Amino acid sequence: MKSNEDVCCTQKRIMICSALANIPFTACLQAVKTLNFAEIRIDLLDLSEAELTTLFSTNSNLIATCRPGKYNDDERKVFLLRSIDAGAAYVDVEVETGDAFKQEVLAAAKAKYCQTIISYHDFEKTPPRAELDHIVTWCSEFKPDVIKIACMINSARDNARLIGLLDTDKRMLVVGMGEQGKITRVVAPLLGSICTFASYATDKATAPGQLFKDDLESRITDLQQL
C-alpha cells in the first residue's frame, strides 16, 4: 500500500495524473511504462481484459476509472474488479452509482490495499457551497480514501467555492472544468488537492479545460518559484 508521502501533493512535489484515453493499447502500454502517475479511462479505451491486466501489472501507480455510458454497470464492475486484482493503485467510483455496485468495488479495493476514490461530476455548473458540502458529506458516507469533486467553472466565484472545499481534514481532489476552470487545475494541488489531471497528448483531453501535461507542469513550476 502506498504511503501518504507517495501520493499526496506538496509544494515540493506535485502529482500530475495523465489521463490516458482514445489511444491504441500499444500506445497506452508505452505511456504507462514512462509515466509516474496515470489514469486509465477504461470507458475511452478499447481494451480486452487481458490487455487491462497487462496495463495495471506494468505500472504500480495507476487509477482505474470506467465512467458510465459505453458499458453497462455489470461490464464496468468486471473491468474495475479486474483492474484492482491486477494491481491498480486507485479505483474511482461515481457517488451516483448504485450502492451495491459501490460496496462491492470498494470492498474488493480495500482487500487489495487499493485506495478508493468516490467522485462527483457536474458538467454544467458549480453548485452553491451548501450543496457542495452536502455532496462531500454524501461521498464521505462510503468512507473512501479520497473524495473527488469536479465541476464546470463559469465564474471566478465558482473557482473560489471549489477551492474552498480543500479547507477540510478530508483528502480531497478538486477539478475545475471548462476554460475558466484551468486556473483551478493549476493552483488546486498547491493548496491541498492530492493531485491534478492533465491530458497525455494535446488532442486527447478527457474533460473540458484539461491542459496538456507538459503545459500544466510548466505553469505549476512557475507558480512554485514565485
Element (H, E) at 64: strand 62-65
Catalytic residue among 2, 110, 112, 121: 121
Catalytic residue among 148, 182, 204, 213: 148
Helix or strand or coil: residue 189? Answer: helix
Residue 178 · residue 211 · CB < 8 Å: no
Distance, in Å, from the CA atom of 143 to the CA atom of 95, rounded to the nearest integer, reads 11
Residues contacting residue 36 through CB under 8 Å, at least 6 positions apart: 15, 61
C-alpha cell at 170: 478530508
Cα angle value 138/166/60 (rounded, 5°) = 80
Sign of CA dihedral 221, 162, 165, 206: negative
Residue 134 is among the residues annotated as catalytic for this protein? no
Residue 121 is among the residues annotated as catalytic for this protein? yes
Show which residues are catalytic. Answer: 121, 148
